[in-house]
Structure 1
């Protein structure tokens, strides 16, 4: 929920890591489709 300050802080941390620190996004339970 974007109205929850704790959730917003988590999302901001993830965005900064991806955009500015070159970290990969890891989504729990996600498996990319096989080619």
Structure 2
């Protein structure tokens, strides 16, 4: 079974970066909320 990768739009990527850089959320917290692996 292969897992499909999600395509992230530019807006999605910028929103994730903003959460980390502007709002100060940790990468681990963002990854958990978005269902991502931080590696």
Normalising by structure 2, what TM-score?
0.46
Normalising by structure 1, what TM-score?
0.50
Which has the bigger relative contact order, CA under 8 A and spacing at least 6? 2
Larger helix share, 1 or 2: 2
Larger Rg: 1
